[in-house]
Every structure is written in C-alpha cells, then in structure tokens.
Amino acid sequence: MKKRRRNRINPLTLIIINAVIPIVTMIFPSDKSIILGLCLGYIALFIADKYKTAFKSALWLGVGVLIYMINVLYLHSSVLGAMLKMTMCFLPCILIAILIVTDYNSSEILSALQRLHLPKIFIIGLTVTIRYIPTFRREFLIIKQAMHIRGVRFSVLHPLRTFEYLLVPQLFRCVSLSSELTAAGLTKGIASDQKRTSYFADNFHKVDYILFVFGTIGLIVIVGGFV
C-alpha cells in the first residue's frame, strides 16, 4: 500500500492554483507572471516528492529558454518566439495537472471539487476526464505494444498507417472505457441527489497556506508592476 505523506497538498489547492495561473497570465501578461506560475508549479512538485518530473521538466524548460534566447538574438522569428512563450505560459498548468492526475484518486478530486459548489454535471465530467488521462496513456502503450508484435512500427512519417493501426483501436477503446467509467461512477452513487460524504480529509494544511501566501505575494507584485 502506498504510504501517504503527512504534509500532503490538498487537491483543492492545486485546482485553484491551476485555474488562477492562466487568468493572471492572460490579464497581466509579463515575465513575472510566467515566473510566478513556474515557481508555484515546482514548489508543488517538490512538496509532493516528484523530483524526477521536476528535473525532466526543468531540462525541457532550459532547452526552451535557450532556443528563445537564440531566436531573440539571431533568428528574430515572431512565430517561433510566440510559440515558445506560449509554451512557457502553459508549463506551470501542465506541471500541476500532472501532479493532480498521478498523485490523487478520483474520490479525492471529486470531494475537492464539491467544496467549490460547482454544478454537479460539471464536476462529474471534469473528474472523469482527469481520471481518464492515465487510462488513455496505458491503453496507448498496450496498442503500441500490439503493433510492435505484429511488426508494425509507430511513425509520424506514415500518418495513414498510424491512424489505421493506432488511432482507430484507441477510439474504439475510448468508447468502451467511457461506458465502464460511467458504470463504475453510478455504482459508487455519483448520480445520487444526496450530499456526498468523503473518506478523505479535506482540510487545508501548512503546505497549502504556504502556497496560497506565496501566490498572493507574487500576485501583488505582478499587479503592482502594472499599476
């Protein structure tokens, strides 16, 4: 059984941060907002002991920054610069989304979303979507392995063959798995009109307040720079 950490980030904290970061970046577009998002994303990864994910993403971030600097100094391509900057803007959301998907189960996510008093149909749809991501990845690897056994190689150079042997089976599996996920949710009483209780504690802890305080201070600095 996986041991649960004592100072574990509340999933609601991650959901709120992941919703606020794009809004701040859109309203106050600047390097400060990107840095704030990256700092929050990496702090969350380090608290969750996701050092491997943090290291890999830091390498890709370094490559992206290097290409961006080369573009600014030598290439002067507005399209490439815009694409790289957009990628950096979305990277914090991707980091936190990876943490939500890999470190929390559907019951924890559902319980956290219920505290926001959102429409139930939205909560159910979002929870199923989040939990389907690792399932999709697992099914993708299974189909890719089946292609390898049959002597068919996955290659972007042959899109028609890839579509036939990879995407078509994946689409059929999506339909089947969506029915299974719906049945599993109904069995757990997800469609009940009664208020849903949770086995998991949903209180905020010290690490949650640290993230909120750090994010608030960063937001004040960003807004102050625009004012």
Q: Determine the Cα–Cα distance for residues 185 and 187; give it in Å rounded to an integer.
A: 5
Token duo for residue 47: 């608290």
Identify the sign of the CA torsion 112, 218, 213, 207. positive
pLDDT of amino acid 227: 57
Contact 57, 38 (CB under 8 A): no
Per-residue pLDDT tens over the stretch 169-225: 877 877 777 777 777 767 766 666 776 666 766 778 889 999 999 999 998 888 877
| pLDDT over 70 percentage in the chain | 87
Helix-then-strand count for the chain, H and E: 9, 0
Averaged over successive runs of 10 residues, the pLDDT of the chain (227 residues) comes to: 62 90 86 89 91 91 89 84 84 89 82 80 76 77 80 72 75 77 71 69 84 91 75
pLDDT of amino acid 1: 43
Q: What is the DSSP letter of 192?
A: -
Give the length of the chain: 227
Token match 């600047």: residue? 30
